[in-house]
Chain A
Amino acid sequence: MIVRILGEGQLQVPESAVDELNELDARLETAVERNDEPAFRGALEALLARLREVGTPADPDTLEPSGLIVPQEDASMAEVRRLLTDEGLIPG
């Protein structure tokens, strides 16, 4: 599966790693729901760290859309909220 880290590009991630990534992602989502900034920061860092471990850079020429997209490392919780609802954050 291809996973995009915003601002960094796409990674090729083995299917075997997806469950684990989803668990880390669930922690991130819970933190956003609870408006828990420290938990959010920790969860985002953990998710990105694991993703970088299991992923390899995707072919730069590929036009394949990503199956999952992760916010950038320095994203604020407010930015992630706006991303989830597309409140004009993605241009175009």
Chain B
Amino acid sequence: MAAGCYEGMVAPMGVMKRVQLVFRAKANKALDKMEDPRETLDYSYQQQLELLQKVRRGVADVATSRKRLELQVNQLQQSSDKLTRQAQDSLAAGREDLAREALQRKAGIQSQQGDLQVQYESLQGEEEKLTGAAQRLQAKVDAFRTKKETIKATYTAAEAQTRISEAFTGISEEMGDVGMAIQRAEDKTEQMKARAGAIDELMASGALDDVVSGPRDDIQAELDRMGASTSVDHELAQMKAALASSAPRQIEGSQDGATGTGQAPAQAAEQAQDAE
């Protein structure tokens, strides 16, 4: 709405009073609709119990979403750890290009992880707020139930009217507040679900997790290829060494050299295998 709508007001009332009046008007409107005051008490009590159920379901929903996020954060952490190991293995094997690629992917995953962490904390906050709202509403509903029985037992219909209005207005304000808290939590949970769904899709597509854990892991494939080629080199070197020992003595020097160069690829092959 336009800011100009306030200009016609004679005296500023303040935000606090105006919000209070909106809540009050809402309660009065509901009260006006009810003809029998005693009926009002029972009807309102039923609504309170329903809202209590709803806020408890809300707490459970937020908790479920929070746990799903937790799972995803852990999955991303595993991917990130694996990429770190792969980068180390690549570097040890002298493949800085592969190490760089692994670290770049890791940076992408960490950025996703950071976003999820923020969402996680936001949901945790909503969960706490809703839990508090449920407790506050429970206390008011209990108080209302007691008051309702007292009013019914003690007062005539006419006398009861004022007391019922008071109790109804008080509980109505709490219900409005709790209702809004539920709405806010639902909105945040919906946003989060959309986000979590997108991350699941990314993982399923192989853009995040599958790249490093499945058969399409090209960094690992390259490391494996290198491992395989170094073991070929190693075997070749062994064969050369065997040939050399049965050959004339003048190639003894090159035999030692072949054995020496055979050592390094063997270590690289072992490291590559460790990484699997």
A binds B: yes
Residue of A nearest to B175 (CB): A92
- Give bound CA distance, A63 to B171, whole Å: 6
**B3, B30, B135, B181: which contacts A92 (Cβ < 8 A)?**
B30
Q: How many chain-B residues does the 8 Å CB contact rule pick out? A: 48
Q: B204 within 8 Å of A by Cβ?
A: no
**A34, A47, A64, A90: which contacts B179 (Cβ < 8 A)?**
A90
CB-defined interface of B167-189 with A at 8 Å, one 1/0 digit per residue? 10111110111011111100000
Interface residues of A (CB under 8 A from B): 3-4, 6-9, 21-22, 25-26, 28-29, 32-35, 47, 60-71, 80-81, 83-87, 89-92
Residue of B nearest to A82 (CB): B1
Q: Which 5 A-B pairs give the minimum distances between C-beta atoms?
A: A63-B170, A91-B179, A68-B16, A60-B139, A25-B14
Q: Shortest distance in angstroms between A54's beta carbon and chain B's nearest beta carbon?
A: 14
Asked if B12 and A35 sit within 8 Å, CB to CB, the answer is: no
**B22, B26, B180, B184: which contacts A84 (Cβ < 8 A)?**
B22
Asked if B177 and A6 sit within 8 Å, CB to CB, the answer is: yes
> Which chain B residues lie closer than 8 Å to A85 at the CB level?
1, 5, 22
Asked if B170 and A62 sit within 8 Å, CB to CB, the answer is: yes
Asked if A7 and B129 sit within 8 Å, CB to CB, the answer is: yes
Asked if B3 and A33 sit within 8 Å, CB to CB, the answer is: yes
Q: B195 within 8 Å of A by Cβ?
A: no
Asked if B143 and A29 sit within 8 Å, CB to CB, the answer is: no
- Give bound CA distance, A76 to B136, whole Å: 24
Asked if A66 and B20 sit within 8 Å, CB to CB, the answer is: yes
List the count of A-B residue pairs having beta carbons below 8 Å apart.
121
Interface residues of B (CB under 8 A from A): 1, 3, 5-6, 12-20, 22-27, 30, 47, 129, 132-133, 135-136, 139-140, 142-144, 147, 166-167, 169-173, 175-177, 179-184
> Which chain A residues lie closer than 8 Å to B19 at the CB level?
6, 68-71, 83-84
> Which chain A residues lie closer than 8 Å to B170 at the CB level?
62-65
Contacts A69-B173, A91-B183 known; 12 new A-B pairs at CB < 8 A: A6-B177, A7-B184, A8-B132, A22-B14, A61-B142, A65-B24, A83-B19, A84-B15, A84-B18, A85-B22, A86-B26, A91-B179
Residue of A nearest to B4 (CB): A33
Known: A63-B166, A70-B15. A9 touches B22 (CB 8 A): no
Asked if B169 and A29 sit within 8 Å, CB to CB, the answer is: no
Q: Shortest distance in angstroms between B246's beta carbon and chain A's nearest beta carbon?
A: 82
> Which chain B residues lie closer than 8 Å to A63 at the CB level?
140, 143-144, 147, 166-167, 170-171
Q: Shortest distance in angstroms between B40's beta carbon and chain A's nearest beta carbon?
A: 14
What are 20 inter-chain pairs, A to B, with CB distance below 8 A?
A: A6-B177, A21-B16, A28-B14, A32-B3, A32-B15, A33-B6, A60-B136, A61-B139, A61-B140, A62-B170, A63-B140, A65-B166, A65-B173, A71-B19, A90-B26, A91-B182, A92-B26, A92-B30, A92-B172, A92-B179
Asked if A86 and B177 sit within 8 Å, CB to CB, the answer is: no
Asked if A60 and B140 sit within 8 Å, CB to CB, the answer is: yes
Residue of A nearest to B122 (CB): A74
Q: Shortest distance in angstroms between B62's beta carbon and chain A's nearest beta carbon?
A: 14
